[in-house]
Each structure stands twice: as structure tokens, then as C-alpha cells.
Amino acid sequence: MPRNLLRRSALALLVMTCAPAAAMAQAGLLAARPSADARRLTIDEAVRMALELARQSLRNTRARVEAGTIPAIDIVEAEAEVAQREEAVIVAEARIATAEDALRALVYDPAMPDFWTLRIEPASAPTRETRPVDVDAAVRDALAQIAEAHGGTLTLQNRQESRGTRATLRLPM
């Protein structure tokens, strides 16, 4: 019986730690790459659009330099902007891959042969449930459960009693 209880406790602990971690990993992946039915602009899409705008600006700058309306040094600035945007795309892709890896490691068995090639596509966003919090009750409960608080209370009571005893011993008999 104790061995079975120990296994249940270990499983409960695993579920309690893994489920929130998986929900957080899914939220991270959704933030980086929402599901196909989402209608909002993702970080990746925004970064790619910025890169395309920088490339268009570079083409326009080259055309102006050829026309002689601006100095050639402006091409270097436009090329630097394109390079920064390309770096941002690489960083965004790495962020998505990292989020996907974190979720994959929590959900799938790393011993699977296709573990690293699995593509995870979240079906829906995690649901959040907001509940009112009674701060005073939470603080009272936390203080009641902390052993150090009990120890501190006992220490304070002992000091007060010691002071009273010392004062009593100083009195003339």
C-alpha cells in the first residue's frame, strides 16, 4: 500500500507541475504563432512585413541614387536597415522554434524517432478563469501555515516573558 501511495503522489506531483508548464508553453507558442483560424497579425508576420518594407525602401533609394537626386551613401543606410530587419526575422523564427521545442518536450516522448520533426499547431488558446481574491484571507492563511511565523511568535512571547522575569528578579525582596 505505501508503495502505491508513493507512486500516486509522484504522479500527482508530475501532473501538477507538468500541466501548468504545458499551458504556459502553449501560450508562448500561440503568442509567437497563433493558430490558423486567428485573424490577428503575428509577430513573425509583422517582422516579415517590416523586412519587405525595408527592401522596398532599398530599391527606391537605389533608384534615386541612379537618378542623381540623393547621395550614394544613402544606399548604405538602406542596406543596414534591410540587414536589421533580416536579423529580426531570424530572431522571430528562433523564438517560435524555441516555444515549439518547449511545448514538444512537455507533451511528447523525446525517445520518439520523429520527435524533433513534429510540428505543433495549437488548436485553441488556453482558457483563463478569473476569480476574485480575498487578499486579507489569503494573507491570514499564509501566515497561519508558515512555520517561521509560528516560531517568530513563540520567540517574541519568550522574550516578553524573559523581560518580565528579569524585571521581577531586580526587585528588592
Q: Please report the DSSP string for 6-34 in residue order.
A: HHHHHHHHHHHHHHHHHHHHHHHHHHHS-
Q: How confident is the model at residue 36 (pLDDT cuts 50, 70, 90)?
A: very low
Q: Beta-carbon neighbour count of residue 87 at 10 Å? A: 12
User: Which position has the grid cell 517582422?
Assistant: 47
pLDDT, position 129: 76
Q: Is the pLDDT of residue 148 over 60?
A: no
Maximum separation of any 2 CA atoms in the chain, in Å: 111
- What does pLDDT average to over the chain? 75
Q: Which amino acid is at 166?
A: R
Is the C-alpha dihedral spanning 99, 100, 105, 106 positive or negative? positive
Q: Quote the cell numbers at residue 131.
A: 476569480
Residue 24 pLDDT greater than 50, yes or no: yes
More confident residue, 73 or 37: 73
Mean pLDDT of 72-81: 91
pLDDT at site 1: 46
Candidates 9, 91, 6, 22; CA nearest to 50 is: 91
